[in-house]
Amino acid sequence: MRARARATAGSIARTAAMACWGAAALLTALLGGPAQGREFRAADTHPESYPTVQAVIEMGRLVAARSGGRHTIRVFHSRQLGEEKETIEQTRVGAIDINRVSLAPFNDIVPETQAATLPFLFRSAGHLHAVLDGPIGDEILAAFEPHGFVGLAFYDSGARSMYNAKRPIRAPEDLKGLRMRVQQSDLNVAMMAALGATAIQLPFGEVVTALSTGIIDGAENNWPSLESSKHFEVAKFYTLTEHSLSPEVLVMSKKVWDKLSPEDQAAFRDAAKKSVVKMRELWQAREKKSEEIVRQAGVEVITIDKKPFEEAMKPFYASFVKDPKLQALVEKIRAVQ
């Protein structure tokens, strides 16, 4: 009798276990397979030591820790996966999982990004952080989704200034006739044209050859990019126009994102946000170091009165910032203290 009771209890336990397993299997099947881990591919145009690459590596560490080592991120730095525009397309189709690019190459894809690329809009790094760390930053990140990307975070990119191999630029007139490279963004073409220069769109990786062969006379970028790209070896005049504080952006492919469980999505988003802190520390140190290297190489660094450059932007604003949605976003950014 006791043996039969034991057998019955055992079979009840087994049946219960089977039922649980069945329910779990059904749930897994419904959710689209077991929560397996994998290596996520991230793209970056910069070399391994550059702050953006190191920040995404940090994000990978955080994701690995939170997922118990299931998920890892491998950063393909130094343009191993192509130039920014190409990697953006590859991210859209899901061939690249994560991408760290400048906001500018997204300008023609996600119109809301134009607001944060506009010249002389952010008053300081503090103003930029106040905007990007708040609801406007979230609004711009959310605007990526309908276009096939999930905006995860913004990274610092300092201030972009003009450099060239021909002559010191002290006033907008000095730009007249110069062939200046801009990032692949219509906004940047219009901005450079408004200053009287000939704007030439080129991928970042082609700039060094274009400069040394004289196809272009100059370009514009921040201290770390001017230094790490070696453009300063040819372009000996750097004018601190600081015309754009446009940030970097970190995105994930929406196709890839949609396959993640809600827990994993939260882990990636959280790790991306946390990597921003690391990025800001690394950025400050790198800016100083790059400035030293550039100055020591004998580049003439020219400080200017920015007012005439800002004034020269008025017709550009009138013709480029016409869309009421963009105008509203610009006004909201201006109003942030």
CA-to-CA distance for 271 and 152, rounded, in angstroms? 9
Tell me if 222 contacts ligand GTR by CB under 6 A.
yes
Tell me if 107 contacts ligand GTR by CB under 6 A.
no
Nearest to 180 by CA among 235, 222, 227: 235
Q: 303 to 322, contacts with ligand GTR by CB under 6 A?
A: none
What residues are paired with 162 via a beta bridge? 220, 239
Smallest separation (angstroms) from ligand GTR to the CB of 310? 21
Tell me if 221 contacts ligand GTR by CB under 6 A.
yes
Could you identify the residue written with the tokens 């590859």? 90
Binder among 99, 114, 183, 253 for ligand GTR (CB under 6 A): 183
CA-to-CA distance for 83 and 120, rounded, in angstroms? 27
Tell me if 287 contacts ligand GTR by CB under 6 A.
no
Tell me if 185 contacts ligand GTR by CB under 6 A.
no
CA-to-CA distance for 21 and 10, rounded, in angstroms? 16
Tell me if 102 contacts ligand GTR by CB under 6 A.
yes
Q: Nearer to ligand GTR by C-beta: 103 or 267?
A: 103
Q: Which range touches ligand GTR (CB under 6 A), out of 165-173, 217-225, 235-243, 253-261?
A: 217-225
Q: Nearer to ligand GTR by C-beta: 84 or 291?
A: 84
Element (H, E) at 199: strand 198-201
Q: Nearer to ligand GTR by C-beta: 59 or 267?
A: 59
What residues are paired with 198 via a beta bridge? 179
* Cβ neighbours around 183 below 10 Å, total: 27
The residue at minimum Cβ distance from ligand GTR is: 102
Nearest to 103 by CA among 90, 120, 88: 88
Binder among 43, 53, 88, 101 for ligand GTR (CB under 6 A): 101
Binder among 45, 239, 241, 275 for ligand GTR (CB under 6 A): 45
Compute the half-sphere exposure of residue 243: CA atoms within 13 Å on the CB side of its CA: 26
